[in-house]
Chains A and B, each alone.
Chain A
Amino acid sequence: MTNDREKVFSRLKASLDRLPARTPYPDFPADVATPADRREGGLSVFRQRLAETSTRLFEDIASLGRWLGERNVLSGYCDPSLAAILRPAIPPSIRLSTNFDRQRPDDYQFGITRASAGIVETGSLVLKDRDTSDRLGAVAPWIHVACLDPGNLYATLADALTDLGDDPAVILVSGHSQTADVEGIMIHGVHGPGEQACLFMQAEKKTENGP
């Protein structure tokens, strides 16, 4: 393997030495590709953008609880650090597990985990590994609810991408999973959640790496 590394780098060097001049890094602002009418941040615009990405928004715990009741779900996964706050609002008939059993993935019709931030431009939720209690709880169930402190918003994609920090797995979630592979017809709900939701929850404790 060291052999291959040396081969690759020496070939690269030989190729690049041929160049009479190397193209310089162009000068451009990080937000050069932010559409002019999508530069504005703020909560009310974020609400519109969430709707655009078909992300269902719950402004408070009670409304989430009511909705889960209406959906006739039986059980779901919940971040252990959120269970105490959420349990009272969710109909008692709905089972909440704070552990995701990989042997029984279809036991969880919904998963509730934390989002670390939101991006207004694209209506996205930023999930980070250190704030996600279980990746499986966020990706496997049909419904995913991301709990977000609405104070943690980036105005633009560029803002978020230039502030990634050191979390090993940052995921920008913009609505539910989808595919148009069959005849170009858009179907939602493939391998990721078929329904994406966001619950606004004011910070009950500050996370270490907020924006």
Chain B
Amino acid sequence: MSRQALDIFASELDATVLQAIDIGARSGVEKRLATLTQDYEDPDALRRLAGQLRQHSLDHLDEYLAGAERRLEENGAQVHFAATTARALEIVLDIVRASGTRVVTKSKSMASEELDLSRELASRGFEPLETDLGEFVVQLDDDHPSHIVKPIIHKTRHDVARSFERSGLGDYNDDPETITRRARSFMRDKFLAAGVTITGANFVSAESGRVVVVTNEGNARFGQAGADVHIVLAGIEKVIPRDRDLALLLSLLIRSATGQRITSYVELIGGPRHPAQPSGPREMHVIFMDANRSDIVGSDMAPILRCIRCGACMNSCPVYRESSGHAYRGVYPGPMGAVLGPLLADEGFGKLADLARASTLCGACHDVCPVDIPIPDLIARLRERSVREKVKHANQGVPPMSVYSLVARHPRLWRLVMSLGHLMERLPLARLPIAAGRAWLDHRTLPRWRGGRFRRWLRRSEKGRADD
């Protein structure tokens, strides 16, 4: 019996990995809730407001994207557009080559993962450094992040200590403070050696053109103090209308992501460095990447583009917690990844369409989303699409509905099945070639069949309820 890939992955997952994720995710849930309820009487009202704001932004993206472009150019930045991830990569490579540098420092950017940017740079002889500590460890291990905010949520300190030891960063030491200090010492020289630094963008303001980058580690700041050239890679959906919107969006983003009120550093970058500033980029490039986003805009799936990458949904998702980020196979894991992944996949919808099956539609994600994305509804729509487009691997394990469809519309047939269903109990259901039956019975008992009894009771009772 062929099973869903994500379920298989989950069943083979190491217990220590599961435990690490569970702890990390739960801590995220608690911290988020604590800050939101402490600071706001009605956090849900703020989430709905932010959702409307982001939806408005998407519904007018043509206008706001043009506005951001104009302001950035006025401020001395160079703006590029990339219709695809391949094109975005070409643009990055052109800029890096033109700079003459070999070393490139990089801050955390999920958009850059869509291009597999670090690997692409490395394979062409450049030395890219992931400077965010979690992403640095991922790079050392030639691994992939398993959470969009906490890339090594699936690793323990022992894993990290071994990675550092393997990479020549010192003898085995799993003390988190020592690990962090080693990363600091190692990276300092790199920030200063790099001619180019690459960041993502949490937001881009159409009003001022400012690129907003939010960190706790200070890696993006150091990168932009050391390098001559700054490249910003941003999905087109990152554009927001006005600077004032940042007060609402940053307040919700940060509380939802880490439970803090504000991160250590919030950078609002308008353009290359001030003429009197001795350090920092003389050149700033902003690459607005489309990569299938423009098709989602204006469609019934558009709400997923409101996402501000806080990670709260995956923290709250019991399916994510049982399967880990890698189970989602793509760049984006968890609930938002189950929707965005299939829609953005370069190879087309079919590639990741099965992710939409990995959900009970419980709604925990919607309840924590700072921009009110109705994720379960979007997931249901993707399922409908995978049925309509007959995406085989996405539909396996899902019982076919043909018999049900017939019986549910023909009451006599239905009542007959109800009455005769008890005969099924004499059959070895667990051994019949009915996938759903085996899938159930492998882990659970079935209740006794009692079909027809309620209907008989209705008929027997005096008050003629059945045909009042």
So, do A and B actually touch in the complex, CB under 8 Å?
Answer: yes
- Name the one of B76, B87, B246 contacting A4, with C-beta atoms under 8 angstroms: B87
Contact in complex: B180, A4 (CB < 8 Å): no
Are A179 and B59 interface neighbours, CB within 8 A? no
* A175 cross-chain contacts in B, Cβ below 8 A: 264
Interface residues of B in 175-220 (CB under 8 A from A): 176-177, 179-181, 183-184, 187-189, 191-192, 208, 210, 216-219
- Are A25 and B241 touching (Cβ within 8 A)? yes
Q: Considering the complex, which residues of chain A in the window 150-199 have a beta carbon less than 8 Å from any beta carbon of chain B? A: 156-158, 161-162, 164, 166-185, 187, 189-193
Q: Which of chain B's residues have a CB closer than 8 A to the CB of A178?
A: 216-217, 264
- What residues of chain B lie closer than 8 Å to A34, measured between beta carbons? 247, 251
A13 touches B (CB below 8 Å)? yes
A7 to B410, CA, bound (A): 51
CB pair A9 B218 closer than 8 Å: no
Residue of B243, B248, B252 with highest tally of chain A CB at under 10 A: B248
List A17-53 residues whose CB lies under 8 Å from chain B: 17-19, 22-26, 28, 30-36, 38
Least CB distance, B314 to chain A, in whole angstroms: 14
Q: Which of B221-229, B411-419, B442-450 lies at the interface with chain A?
A: B221-229
Shortest B284–chain A CB gap in Å is 8
Main secondary structure of the interface of A (DSSP, over half): loop
Q: With contacts A158-B247, A171-B265, A191-B184 known, is A132 near B277, CB below 8 A?
A: yes
Which residues of chain A have C-beta atoms less than 8 A from B40's C-beta?
A: 33, 35
B38 nearest CB neighbor, chain A only: A35
Chain B, 254-291, CB within 8 A of any chain A CB? 258, 261-274, 276-280, 288, 290
Residues of chain A with a CB closer than 8 A to B226's CB:
102, 136
Q: Tell whether, in the assembled complex, residue B179 and residue A182 are in contact, meaning their CB atoms are under 8 Å apart.
A: yes
Chain A's nearest CB lies how many Å from the CB of B204?
Answer: 14
Q: Are A129 and B264 in contact (CB under 8 A)?
A: no
Select the residue from A122, A175, A184 with max chain B CB neighbours within 10 A.
Answer: A184
Distance to closest chain B CB from A40 (angstroms): 14
Are the CB atoms of B176 and A182 closer together than 8 Å?
Answer: yes
Q: Is the CB of A12 within 8 A of B297?
A: yes
Shortest distance between the CB of A133 and any CB in chain B (Å): 8
Which residues of the partner chain B approach A124 to less than 8 Å between Cβ atoms? Answer: 262, 266
A11–B297 alpha-carbon span in the complex (Å): 9
The answer, yes or no, to whether B361 is at the interface (CB within 8 Å) is no
Q: Which of B45-53, B115-123, B347-355 contacts the other chain? A: B45-53
Give the residue name and chain of the A residue nearest to B40 (CB).
Answer: A35
Contact with A along B139-165 (1 / 0, CB 8 A): 000000000001110011100100000
Please report which residues of chain B, range 417-467, place their CB below 8 angstroms from some CB of chain A when the two chains form the complex.
none
Decide: B280 and A169 in contact? CB cutoff 8 A.
Answer: yes
Chain A's nearest CB lies how many Å from the CB of B451?
46
What are the residues of chain A within 8 A of B192 when measuring CB–CB? 102, 105
Total chain B interface residues with beta-carbon distance under 8 A: 102
Residues of B within 8 A of A138 (CB): 225
- Of B152, B218, B269, which contacts A169 at CB under 8 A? B269
Chain B residues whose CB sits within 8 angstroms of the CB of A59 once the complex forms: none
Given the complex, which residues of A lie within 8 Å of B394, measured CB to CB?
none
Tell me which of A167, A174, A181 contacts B270 (CB under 8 A): A167
Interface range for A: 35 or more
Closest approach, in angstroms, between the C-beta of A186 and any C-beta of chain B?
9
With an 8 A cutoff between CB atoms, is B82 at the interface? yes
In the complex the two chains form, is A189's CB within 8 Å of B184's CB?
Answer: yes
Which residues on B sit within 8 Å (CB–CB) of A7? 81, 83, 290
Query: What is the CB-to-nearest-CB distance from A62 to chain B, in angstroms, rounded to a whole number?
Result: 28
A83 close to chain B: CB less than 8 A: no
Which of B39, B52, B187, B270 contacts A26 (CB under 8 A)?
B52
* Interface residue from B27, B76, B179, B217 paired with A177 (Cβ < 8 Å): B217
Give 22 A-B contacts (CB < 8 Å), ordered by A residue. Answer: A5-B81, A11-B295, A16-B61, A19-B59, A26-B52, A32-B46, A33-B46, A34-B251, A105-B189, A106-B188, A124-B262, A134-B277, A136-B225, A139-B221, A139-B225, A168-B270, A171-B268, A172-B267, A174-B262, A179-B134, A184-B27, A187-B176
Residues on B facing A (Cβ under 8 Å): 20, 23-24, 27, 38-41, 46, 49, 52-53, 55-56, 58-62, 65-66, 75-76, 80-83, 87, 91, 131-134, 137, 150-152, 155-157, 160, 176-177, 179-181, 183-184, 187-189, 191-192, 208, 210, 216-219, 221-222, 224-226, 236, 241, 243-244, 246-248, 250-252, 258, 261-274, 276-280, 288, 290, 294-299
> Top 5 A-B pairs ranked by shortest CB distance?
A192-B218, A15-B298, A33-B251, A135-B225, A11-B294
Q: Which residues of A contact B (CB under 8 A)?
A: 1, 4-5, 7-9, 11-13, 15-19, 22-26, 28, 30-36, 38, 100, 102, 105-106, 122, 124, 129-130, 132-136, 138-140, 156-158, 161-162, 164, 166-185, 187, 189-193
- Known contacts A4-B82, A172-B262, A190-B219; can you find 19 more A-B pairs with CB under 8 A? A8-B290, A12-B65, A16-B59, A16-B297, A22-B60, A23-B56, A26-B49, A32-B248, A33-B251, A34-B251, A35-B39, A133-B278, A139-B221, A139-B225, A169-B224, A174-B265, A177-B264, A180-B216, A190-B184
